[in-house]
Copies of this chain bind each other. A is one copy, B any other.
């Protein structure tokens, strides 16, 4: 490819938008076009995203069909419900990659139950590690980037499901997360004074919107009727998700070594999934700013459960990095182009 692709980012002043721009700045085949937002239109990006030094003097444009038109790729990093509207107005000449939820679920009833609004439809689901999914994303013109928790939990459990180590009919997931996943929202419980030094659960009892998305993914992996109990926990770090996922054993005599081998086989060729050395457990720090997922697995025969833990950066592999990975696949670029493999630790 000799000519750079022009890329626009809608929602450029939020956390996901900022992370998209961070990654796109390091991408060798991309030229950043419009950066748009609504409330902050007209301000310089340097005031709002001071880490994006090379874009400091860019002026934020309003998010509209006009400002987003004419780009090879348009990333949408908008609140739930806003993407569908914008997408409608954009022609078919742009690849649209939506970091929001609007087009993730294939089941209208699940959408209706968890989001309480009309289902906008579904787009190719941007988790290339799902069986057969990489092929569907090649050449795609519309992509729905997964939620950050579903990416983490799915990649923790995928080999267990595809290898038949579990029926996934009583999966329990508890995921610790930093607040950047909630975006730059001015809500009291997201204030620093509330969060620092504190852990708290939210969306408890099967009501979190990422629950049906995780089930959809495990079904995609071959689970006949996945049942998910999912609880997110806010903890005091800006970024990062650590998902502890337990699922019943199909065979009560399964050993940790056997499970580890299944994971090693499943992920042998995945560029961004890193199975840690046996016995070493993931820490989110090791994935900070990288597009990697660190995974480990153990079997607890006494409990009859397999426990898989995955760590990732919710803004990178969990959102913007995953989105760029999808863009690479959609455009026929090498999948890892421009994406960091090494976290910023400690």
Contact = CB atoms under 8 A, between A and B. Distances in A.
Interface in A257-285: 274, 276-277, 280-285
Interface string A174-212: 101011101010111011111111111110111000000
B242 A309 contact: no
Interface stretch (A66-74, A101-109, A295-303): A295-303
| Copies of the polypeptide in the assembly | 4
Contact of A198 (B47, B240, B340): B240
A36 interface: no
Interface residues of A, number: 94
Nearest to A296: B204
A192 B46 CA distance: 20
A108 B178 CA distance: 41
Contacts of A239: 193, 197, 344, 346
A103 B174 CA distance: 31
B197 A240 contact: yes
A294 interface: yes
Given A192-B238, A197-B238, 16 more contacts: A46-B280, A49-B345, A51-B287, A174-B231, A176-B176, A182-B193, A190-B192, A192-B236, A193-B346, A197-B237, A197-B288, A204-B296, A229-B300, A231-B309, A233-B242, A236-B236
